Chains A and B, each alone.
Chain A
Amino acid sequence: GQQLNQSPQSMFIQEGEDVSMNCTSSSIFNTWLWYKQDPGEGPVLLIALYKAGELTSNGRLTAQFGITRKDSFLNISASIPSDVGIYFCAGSSGTYKYIFGTGTRLKVLA
């Protein structure tokens, strides 16, 4: 089945550093979502993007809907220890059904 490619798969960063991750697809999407999953919990929605080129922020998080509609990017500024977790992108081509990426595992070193 179709899946989205996320990179990097995992990353270790120092507290205070900025983080960038991205998600690419072979298909065009109409909506991109970014989720964060804490250990032992279900994913929680961080940011939703609805049109190509859109840039949306949620606190220290900023996400962009790629111009080609086949990719999306998430940036975290000034990382803190509670940013640790798995970040998932998800895309939809206009239905209620979303395809999820394979996840980026983030570990923050204090």
Chain B
Amino acid sequence: DAEITQSPRHKITETGRQVTLACHQTWNHNNMFWYRQDLGHGLRLIHYSYGVQDTNKGEVSDGYSVSRSNTEDLPLTLESAASSQTSVYFCASSDTLYGYTFGSGTRLTVV
């Protein structure tokens, strides 16, 4: 069965370190998205991609970057982790206007 997987599920890192969160989907979807979830803020869009070599900034993109070298993967990199980036991160993919399929999330703690 097709799926979307995120790794790791949990990560603790130190302030200032570079961190990469992985997202891999086997749906063959062109569109992929990264959101962060924080209490009181719901889901906020970080970056998104509509296809290979395409990347776009979302509403909270500062301090994050993505690259899309193939259809299946959209890794999210925190260039220099900050405590404000402690959050739960969700990756999602879609191929239509009618909703996303989400991964199970990565809980990131920056200490």
Q: Which residues does A use to contact B, with CB under 8 Å?
A: 1-4, 6, 31, 33, 40-45, 48, 50, 88, 90, 92, 94-103
Contact = CB atoms under 8 A, between A and B. Distances in A.
Interface residues of B, number: 26
Interface stretch (B13-21, B34-42, B77-85): B34-42
B32 to A, nearest CB: 10
Interface string B4-41: 00000000000000000000000000010101000011
B44 A33 contact: no
A97 B102 contact: no
B56 to A, nearest CB: 8
B105 A45 contact: no
Contact of A1 (B44, B50, B94): B44
Interface in B35-88: 35, 40-45, 48, 50, 58-60
A90 B31 CA distance: 17
A43 to B, nearest CB: 5
10 contacts: A31-B98, A42-B90, A44-B102, A50-B98, A96-B31, A97-B48, A97-B58, A99-B45, A100-B42, A100-B44
Contact of B99 (A2, A41, A45, A103): A45
B26 to A, nearest CB: 16
Contacts of A1: 44-45, 58-60
A42 B42 contact: no
A94 B97 contact: yes
B22 to A, nearest CB: 15
B29 to A, nearest CB: 10
Contacts of A98: 99-100
A48 B102 CA distance: 15
B18 to A, nearest CB: 25
A43 B42 contact: no
